[in-house]
């Protein structure tokens, strides 16, 4: 905990994954009270993104999902998602002619969540 996932598609000209991961960890520690050693981020690349009508337009998507144990208030989760959007603006730059769609969500992990470290 926290479980941070960054899903993204091609189309970013500049994508500082390491810088974004560090900034995400710092934000989760500061805003949500997570322990620094518990922060882990996985990046998953998707092939492409398409809009509904004009398939010739170029789109890139960066979506951050943060799974936290229950107990954070709605204000804390909202503050964290707003901070994540600012971090995406700072760490991801779209290629020329590409529309970048950034989003963030903080969700509570199910009570059945368990983990191990080896």
Q: What is the pLDDT of residue 11?
A: 74
Residue 55, pLDDT > 70, answer: no
Indicate whether 115 belongs to any domain: no
Residue 91, pLDDT > 90, answer: yes
Q: Which two tokens stand for residue 106?
A: 């903080």
Q: What is the pLDDT of residue 13?
A: 65
What CATH number does the domain containing 24 carry? Answer: 3.30.429.10
Domain carrying residue 22? 3-108
Distances, alpha carbon 11 to alpha carbons 8, 85, 105, 107, in Å: 9, 18, 21, 27
Nearest Cα neighbor of 32 from 103, 104, 93, 92 is: 104
What's the pTM? Answer: 0.89
Q: Higher-confidence residue: 98 or 105?
A: 105
Task: Provide the mean pLDDT of the chain.
Answer: 90
Distances, alpha carbon 26 to alpha carbons 31, 49, 73, 117, in Å: 8, 29, 19, 21
Indicate whether 117 belongs to any domain: no
Q: What is the pLDDT of residue 115?
A: 87
To the nearest 10 degrees (0 to 180), the angle between helices 74-91 and 17-32 is 160
């Amino acid at each position: 905990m926290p479980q941070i996932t960054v899903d993204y598609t091609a189309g970013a000209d500049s994508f500082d994954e390491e810088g974004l991961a560090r900034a995400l960890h710092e934000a989760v520690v500061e805003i949500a009270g997570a322990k620094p050693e518990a922060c882990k981020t996985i990046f998953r690349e998707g092939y492409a993104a398409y809009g509904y009508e004009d398939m010739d337009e170029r789109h890139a998507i960066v979506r951050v999902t943060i799974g936290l144990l229950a107990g954070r208030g709605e204000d804390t989760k909202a503050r964290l998602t707003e901070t994540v959007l600012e971090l995406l603006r700072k760490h991801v730059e779209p290629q020329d002619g590409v529309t970048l769609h950034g989003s963030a969500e903080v969700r509570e992990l199910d009570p059945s969540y368990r983990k191990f470290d080896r």
